[in-house]
Chain A
Amino acid sequence: MSADTTADALPAPVSAGGATGDAILRVSGLTAGYGAAPVLQDIELTVRTGTIAAVLGANGAGKTTLLRTLSGLVRPSAGDIVFDGRPLRDVPVEQLVRRGMAHVPEGRGVVAELTVDENLRLGGLWRRDRADAARALAEVYELFEPLAQRRRHAGHQLSGGERQMLALGRALVARPKLLLLDEPSLGLAPRVIAQIMGLLRQLRDQTGLTVLLVEQNVRSALSVADEAVVMSLGRIVTATTAGRLRDDEQLRHAYLGF
């Protein structure tokens, strides 16, 4: 992997988040759930700066809950999250984007009633540096040509692929250090999925963006990921490099069933 950080596009490496290889996210002993039964049990996970880490697993494995716990929507009952060198537990959800974490939820989270432009501006409203927020917005429009042509369209008028671009673009307006992406391939045509995965690769290589990618589409995820973890029934059952999971048929059979 080449981690070329001569960034000319989003998201600029805004802080001293560290060189490639340092852990930007460390999760240890994380247990969480919605009721009495925990959905996540004793999760250990490290994501290095400037890499794409894929979280794979069947429906109900706890992948989405993992992301929701990281971004504070679900409160953990035990364990620690350290993001960018600082503990993350008990930080309000609203503050996470200010700390450099952007979460694109499952189903994309485009605000259907707002226009493309309003959705994107919403992503940068929290920023004090108005000039740079405007620059980030312009860069997103450059990155996603179809969005630039539909600025005044409402979110509900967009195609599935355009909505994914919008959700992704809106997250990038915040210039995050870590992007949490929940099932970006859901319901999209293979060609569009390939485009989105290609874009993630490009962002990682050109800007050093770190991505935690939750996917059921294993092939697509492994085509861009550096690291991969497989979850089953709320636990991480294996953590390895994406290359190994791609190439090692036995491992794939054992954990992913193909």
Chain B
Amino acid sequence: MDRFVFLTFDGLSKGAVLAAFALALVLIWRAARIVNFAQGAMAVAAAYAAYSVTSATGSYWLGFGAALAGGLLIGLVVERAVMRFVDHTSPLAEVIVALGLVLVFQALLGIFYGNEYLPTGTPFSRTALTAGGVPLLSRYDLFVFGAVLLVVVALALLFTRTPVGLRMRASAFAPEVSRLLGVNVGGMLTLGWALASAVGALAAMLVIPTELGLHPHAMDLVFVSAFTAAVVGGLDSPVGAVVGGLSVGLILSYVSGYLGSDVTPMAVLVLLLAVLLVRPGGLFSSTVARQV
């Protein structure tokens, strides 16, 4: 029972990061109907920026800020300089360009930083606090929960309560009508990419210290898990991304706890396959058909 409780908390903590990363995928999907396969590589690039800043200044928090700012900037540049020019008639074109970006990012990071795992620190202790002898959560886990919760709430408020959020949603659903109503649709798309990339960078900052460390490929497996989480949630639904992220985190934690950690990558793929076979629209896909 103790083991189960521990695995549950561990899974929720992992799941929170997957939720944030899945949310980043959903943001871009909603804005541009693209699954951003470069999300992981972009997030790692932002994490390297944080590594440089933290190494130079000795401050984790300056590095943390640099990762978020770097994330915004990377998203902005990728959309303005690359994605904008991709032919939108075939979804395959966007997928291939995104995969190409992965190679470019990972090669550049390897050239500048080397292909070794670099150790990264955490701002809080990762020693689990115990309750009645059972190890539950570390202070770092609480920080992860807090950061992800903050982002989820902030994004929800942004999209539902602000004029910019209304513009972004309208641009995504009906670009032409939005332009006729005076909305700068191109600008909203850039903003969507920048925001998503910053959320992805946050997820990378949170997860990398808990894994093997910083490496050009550090987010590859996380990307697969988060993509599964996003698909479980229906790709279109921010709530679905959060629930999907937590569910996938729990499943992975139980699988690695009871069956062994070498089974987890396969478990993710089996889950992805199962969801695509049984409910390709995702568990939270809205059933509303678009009518005009």
Contact = CB atoms under 8 A, between A and B. Distances in A.
Interface of A: 71, 73, 93-98, 102-103, 105, 107-114, 118, 121-123, 125-126, 154, 156, 170, 174
B291 A97 contact: no
A125 B184 contact: no
B166 interface: yes
B103 interface: no
A120 B184 CA distance: 17
Contact of B179 (A93, A170, A174): A93
B166 A121 contact: yes
B116 interface: no
Interface stretch (B16-24, B121-129, B169-177): B169-177
6 contacts: A111-B174, A113-B173, A114-B170, A125-B183, A126-B183, A156-B289
B173 to A, nearest CB: 5
Given A111-B177, A113-B169, A114-B173, A125 B182 contact: yes
| Contact count band on B | 20 to 34
- Max chain A CB contacts within 10 Å: which of B178, B183, B291, B292? B292
Contact of A112 (B167, B180, B185, B291): B291
B292 A118 contact: no
A123 B176 contact: no
Contact of A113 (B176, B179, B288): B288
A122 B169 CA distance: 10
Given A94-B184, A114-B169, A122-B170, A109 B179 contact: no
Given A112-B290, A156-B291, 7 more contacts: A98-B182, A105-B176, A105-B180, A109-B177, A122-B170, A126-B183, A174-B181
A125 B165 CA distance: 11
B163 interface: yes
Contact of B182 (A97, A109, A110): A97
Given A112-B290, A156-B288, A105 B169 contact: no
A170 B182 CA distance: 12
Given A122-B170, A125-B163, A125-B166, A110 B180 contact: no
Given A118-B166, A125-B163, A125-B167, A110 B292 contact: yes
B173 A112 contact: yes
Contacts of B170: 111, 114, 118, 122
